[in-house]
Structure 1
Amino acid sequence: MITLAVMLIVLLLLVILWQRRLIVNHNRQVKYVHEKLNNILDEGTHERLLLFSSNRELQILLTDLNRLLDANHKGAAERAKLDKSMRNMLANVSHDLKTPLTVVLGYIETLLHDEDMPAAERERMLRTIHQKANEVISLMNTFFDLAKLESGDSNIPLARVELGEVCRRNILSFYDLLNAKGSEVQIDLPDEALYLMGNEEALDRILNNLLSNAIAYGGAGGILGLKLYSDEDKLYIEVWDRGKGIAEAHQDKVFERLYTLEDSRNRVYQGSGLGLTITKRLAEQMDGTISLSSKPYVYTAFTVAFPRLRF
């Protein structure tokens, strides 16, 4: 009996020692996770928590923590991208406002100090002041339009719209301008009526932006095309040209707020960098998407896709 009691006591002591060792090891692992996690957060590194452990609960906790770290890293990258976008946006807005305002202030100063200016010259300056002031108003209105779209305060009413008629109306509004520039126009619209749940005013603005963009940047190609086609589920509007196009490095950025190519700072190209962003937001409000494919001086196409309405 005594021998059995001693054996039980020894066994109990071994179990206690084994449990204590597990607790000590567990505490050491938890301390490591705590210190490593704080180090990752403090230094902003992209490391992950790595720990070999037989404790299933601890393994699950590490997996969840690493998922949180991944989300935090992704959020930090998106915030950095947004900060850069905002800085570029402010720089571009400042440039686009400063240029016409500088002209306006310069002309006003000239008019104030030159009382003997000929009437014809005075009228020319006043017309220029009026034009530049309208440029500023137009830019600010466009900027506020984008702000409303992105804030969700501008939900557009949707109705059944025949897309072919919208395309015909918009390409005809540019026909005289294209003809004056000597550009060939290629229109490919089906005889079949194609319907979507959309907003005619928003669709007009989308096409106006895309056609204006093709004329401004693709004019060197001497041709502009508008194509409407469909498949079982979607309708597609494609506006294309054979102009200078957009280099691959820029293609994923052209829909960002106020992103402009370097030479669009030249006022020959009257872009503010907002048109394509607004086009994308309007398309999205009608459950649509927009994409770009470009090979300079071969084929550059903006394609907007919408869900097809079958009735």
Structure 2
Amino acid sequence: MSVFLIIVIVILLYIIYFQYKSKRHISTNLKYIYEKLNSIIANNTSEKLLAFTDDKELIHILIEINKLLEHNQKIQADYSKVEVAMRKMLSNISHDLKTPLTVVLGYIETINLDKNINNEEREVLLGKVENKTKEVMELINKFFDLAKLESGDKDIPLTRINMNEVCRKNILDFYDILTSKGIEVIIDIPEKNMYSLGNEEALDRIINNLISNAIKYGSEGGVLGLSLKSDEKYVYVEVWDKGKGINEVHKDRVFERMYTLEDSRNKLYQGGGLGLTITKRLVEKLKGEIFLDSKPFDKTSFTVRLKRINY
């Protein structure tokens, strides 16, 4: 009887010791998790939690905490990226607003202070003031359009759109400008109508922006093209040119806010840097995608892909 009692006591002691060790191990891991989380948050690092344990519940908790840390780190990285982009955008906007406004003030001062100025000279200066003011208004309007698109305040209802008509209308709007510049126009729009999910006003602006961009940056290639194609699922609108193209370094950044090519501050290539950003946001509002492919002086193309409607 005493032997049996001793065995029971030993087993109970082992159980108590095992439970104590297990609890201590859990306590150590919880302390590690607490201290490590505090360190990660305080130092804003990208570390993860790593604990050696056989406790399945604790393992699940660690996995979920690491997922949460990854999500938080991604949000912080995205926020930092947006913050840098916003700073750059505001800096560029202030520059692009300051320059024409300074010119406008200069013209107005000349008109007010020069008592010998004749009516013809005054009219010329007033015309320049008007043009510069329009530049400022255009930039401000683009900025607010982008702000509305990104905040979701701009409502863009989606309907069935005849893409053939939209493409013909927009390329015809530029036809006189293109021919006056000696640019060959190549149009590939099939006779059979293609329909997509879209918004006519948004599509007009998208294609208008892409054609304007091709004229501004690709006119030296002497050719500009617009093509409309489709497959079973999508409709594709491609605007292309044979100009200087876009270097690989810039290809991933041309859709960023206020991003312009290195020579875009030159008068020939001057631009506010919002046109392609607005274009991309509009395409996304239409549930579509936009792609860029560029081989300098061979073919630089922007292709918009939209969902096809077959009825």
TM-score by length of 1: 0.96
Quote the RMSD (CA, aligned, Å).
Answer: 1.3
Q: Tell me the CA shift for residue 248 of structure 1.
A: 1.3
Shift of 1:187: 0.8
**What are the equivalent positions in structure 2 for 1:1-311 lying under 5 Å apart?**
1-311=1-311
Unaligned runs of 5+ in 1: none
Contact 1:158 1:197 in 2 (8 A): yes
User: C-alpha separation between the residues in 2 aligned to 1:27 and 1:197?
Assistant: 58
CA gap of 1:56–1:159, structure 2 versus 1, over 3 A, is closer
Letter in 2 for 1:88: K
1:83 Cα shift? 0.9
Structure 2 SS opposite 1:306? strand
For 1:89 and 1:243, how far apart are their aligned partners in 2? 27
Structure 2: distance between partners of 1:29 and 1:151: 43
Equivalent position amino acid for 1:307 in 2: K
Amino acid at match of 1:273: G
Q: C-alpha separation between the residues in 1 aligned to 2:128 and 2:244?
A: 31
Structure 1 CA distance for aligned equivalents of residues 297 and 257 of structure 2: 26
Alignment check: 8 A CA contact 1:226 1:240 kept: yes
The superposition leaves residues 238-284 of structure 1 with CA deviations (integer Å, 9 ceiling, x where unpaired) of: 00011111111211111122221121122333421111111112222
Query: Which sits farther off after the overlay, 158-167 or 92-101?
Result: 158-167
Q: Which runs of 5+ in 2 are unaligned?
A: none
Q: Structure 2: how far apart are the matches of 1:283 and 1:246?
A: 21
SS in 1 for 2:108: helix
CA displacement at 1:10 relative to structure 2: 2.3
**Preserved CA contact (<8 Å) 1:155 1:285:** no
Distance in 1 separating the partners of 2:194 and 2:25? 69
CA contact (8 A) 1:236 1:304 kept: yes
Task: Give how far 1:288 is off.
Answer: 1.4
Percent of counterpart pairs with the same letter? 55
2:49 & 2:259 partners in 1: Cα distance? 38
Letter matched to residue 308 of structure 2: R
CA contact (8 A) 1:292 1:300 kept: yes
Structure 2 counterpart of 1:73, one-letter code: Q
Q: Secondary structure at the match of 1:264?
A: coil
**Partner Cα separation in structure 2 for residue 84 and residue 295 of structure 1:** 30
User: Once the 2 structures are TM-superposed, how far is the Cα of residue 111 of structure 1 from its aligned partner?
Assistant: 1.8
Deviation string, structure 1 residues 34-62 (Cα, Å, up to 9, x no partner): 11121112111111111211111111111
- Tell me if the contact between 1:288 and 1:306 (Cα under 8 Å) persists in the aligned partners: yes
What is the CA distance between 1:217 and its match in structure 2?
Answer: 0.3
User: Alignment partner of 2:287: what SS?
Assistant: coil
Letter in 1 for 2:199: N
What is the alpha-carbon distance in structure 2 between the residues aligned to residue 50 and residue 157 of structure 1?
49
CA contact under 8 A between 1:258 and 1:273: conserved in structure 2?
Answer: yes
